[in-house]
A and B are shown apart, each in its own frame.
Chain A
Amino acid sequence: GDSVTQMEGPVTLSEEACLTINCTYTATGYPSLFWYVQYPGEGLQLLLKATKADDKGSNKGFEATYRKETTSFHLEKGSVQVSDSAVYFCALRNSGGYNKLIFGAGTRLAVHP
């Protein structure tokens, strides 16, 4: 079945460092891909999305490109801030199965001043 694999955390960075969180997926057909973020004490929020191959999703300085050839959707940011500290989840949604989301295990990011 469909699945998502993302790099294990925690990822610890200094402020202004570059961030990459790897995400790969296995799916039939042409899924939509998402990154969700969970800030401490808050619910899941959609960070960015891409609906077809070569699409780039972006938001709040974060970017991810839908790479069908490598089945990947890596999350990147050029300069992280302390306020980016959170858990990041990669997810996919296929057109079948009533559009349920399939999540990776999450990657915790800690950014220090």
Chain B
Amino acid sequence: GAGVSQSPRYKVAKRGQDVALRCDPISGHVSLFWYQQALGQGPEFLTYFQNEAQLDKSGLPSDRFFAERPEGSVSTLKIQRTQQEDSAVYLCASSPTLGGITGQSHNEQFFGPGTRLTVL
């Protein structure tokens, strides 16, 4: 079956532009995560959705970052007034189970290929 897909795969933006990055999770997956991976670093958590509810946005670096998942499937990460330090690969992951203390903590997250954002 289809895995997690992300679009666009590459995005070049001029500083100050707004960008929108899309994630299509695996069908039926309840949990959706966004991560940011700077060059040469490991991914860092940005935000988490359980269905359409954004339950954790503690990793969003500033109020220029906004994420939504209005129907509990596709998610969009929006970055307003992009800055050079926003240049990174943005990864989306989905998981079939609920997160949190009642969830099964060992269930796998399936990652998309990422969107490489370059801000000039």
Query: A interface vs B, CB < 8 Å?
Result: 4, 31-32, 36, 42-46, 49, 51, 89, 91, 93-106
Contacts and interface: CB of A to CB of B under 8 A. Distances in A.
Contact of B44 (A44, A94, A103): A103
Contacts of B107: 99
Contacts of B44: 103
Nearest to A89: B42
A98 B44 CA distance: 14
Interface string B76-116: 00000000000000010101000111010111110111100
A45 B91 CA distance: 12
A31 B105 CA distance: 8
Contacts of B99: 97-100
Interface of B: 4, 31, 33, 35, 40-45, 48, 50, 55-56, 59, 91, 93, 95, 99-101, 103, 105-109, 111-114
Contacts of B105: 31-32, 51, 93-95, 99
A67 to B, nearest CB: 17
B41 A105 contact: yes
Contacts, number: 74
Contact of A100 (B50, B56, B108, B113): B56
Going nearest first, the 5 A-B pairs with the smallest beta carbon separation are: A103-B42, A98-B99, A99-B99, A44-B111, A100-B45
A10 B107 CA distance: 30
Contacts of B45: 100-102
Contacts of B33: 100-101
A81 to B, nearest CB: 23
Contacts of A51: 105-106
Given A98-B100, A102-B45, A44 B50 contact: no
A95 B101 contact: yes
